Amino acid sequence: MIPPQFDCVRTRTVEEAVSALAGSGNAKLLAGGQSFLPILRLRLAYPDVIVDLGRTAGMWGIRDDGDELVIGAMTTHYEVMTSDLVRRHCGLLAKATSTVADPQVRHRGTFGGALSHADPAGDLPAVALAFGTTMVVAGPDGRREVPASEFFADYLQTALGPADVLVEVRVPKLGGGNGWGYRYEKFQRVAQSWAIVGVAALVRRSGDVIDEARLGLVNMGATPLRATAAEDALAGARANAGAVADAAVLAAEGTSPPSDLSGQADYRRHLVRALTQSAVLAAAGIQTAG
Ligand SMILES: Cc1cc2nc3c(=O)[nH]c(=O)nc-3n(C[C@H](O)[C@H](O)[C@H](O)COP(=O)(O)OP(=O)(O)OC[C@H]3O[C@@H](n4cnc5c(N)ncnc54)[C@H](O)[C@@H]3O)c2cc1C
């Protein structure tokens, strides 16, 4: 379908983008366009103005900042998954990003666009939640930081206001020789498609004991979720297959998965238990017989 008519503004700075949003009653940002352009073409949105971030400075690239990596919101999926810094310090993010869609989408779609779109079936919001990332947001009153735990508000809704721009994302270095192991388990009908259910696992282990587990769940509710009951059961548990299986049984607690053509809610609850078990075993480096 042909999208509705709109004006287009191409901004050079983040401040210009914020003013362009604030100056119109109904403006929308355009990043990689991989989610937004289909929405326009289906006429699910009728913006008066589209603010194109494609040439906006200060929103690109990946830098090392002590205990965190800072990733510009306009950094593409391809750049994230092939970055040496991301692979070395935040391997879970590189791995999960490599499962997003296909090469064309990964070359256009952006990290910030995926988080701002906040699709609970998307791979990256759950990963951001597991890491405990911080979103750096520019708005009419200046910049502020929003933790991932407060960012994802509801289905396709975030803490971003109508004149806010997600500028960059601070990702803690978890996974990469500092005791943290990781695994991303994505169950999909065919390769390069959306997750029916996904589990992002970060596990810190000391010898025979699991110190901490951080588990992000994809497509198990209106927002990305943490599997907090399973995380609590894993904290301080023995690092063996039995303890992991017992904890994984709790992975669906507090979730409200959808029922759709790809699977009923009960099936998703079953999947999340199985995927949590295998993700935690792999992240903790626990060998199982067979
Ligand atoms: C065929 C196909 C398959 C896909 N499969 C997957 C998949 O398997 N897993 C997955 O996770 N994703 C998948 N996606 C989605 C893909 O990851 C998109 O790139 C992503 O959701 C949106 O990123 P974008 O840069 O294209 O954002 P856009 O489409 O440009 O924008 C998306 C929304 O975010 C807003 N926005 C964008 N940037 C900002 C910002 N900096 N600040 C504030 N708001 C902003 C826009 O206004 C818009 O509302 C798929 C997409 C397609 C087309």
Ligand 1 mean position to 183 CA, how many Å?
23
Q: If you average pLDDT over residues 240-261, what whole number do you get?
A: 97
Query: Picking from 44-48, 69-73, 106-110, 218-222, which range would have the lowest pLDDT averaged per residue?
Result: 44-48
Name 74's Cβ contacts closer than 8 Å, sequence gap at least 6.
Answer: 31, 53, 54, 56, 59, 60, 110, 112
How many C-beta atoms lie closer than 10 Å to residue 160's C-beta?
19
Q: What is the pLDDT of residue 51?
A: 98
Q: Where does ligand 1 bind, in terms of residues with CB under 6 Å? A: 28-36, 73, 100-101, 105, 109-110, 112-114, 116-117, 122-124, 160, 165-166, 194
Q: How far apart are CA 15 and CA 28, in angstroms?
A: 15
Q: What average pLDDT score do residues 157-168 get?
A: 98
Question: What is the per-residue pLDDT across 167-178, written as a single tens digit (0 to 9) for each?
Answer: 999 999 997 667
Q: In this predicted model, what pLDDT tens digit does every residue of 39-51 receive, in sequence order?
A: 998 988 889 999 9
The answer to pTM > 0.75 is yes
Distance in angstroms between the alpha carbons of the first and the last residue of the chain: 52
Euclidean distance between CA atoms 106 and 122, whole angstroms: 13
Question: Ligand 1 centroid to 122 CA: how many Å?
Answer: 9
Q: How far is the CA of 106 from the centre of ligand 1 (A)?
A: 10
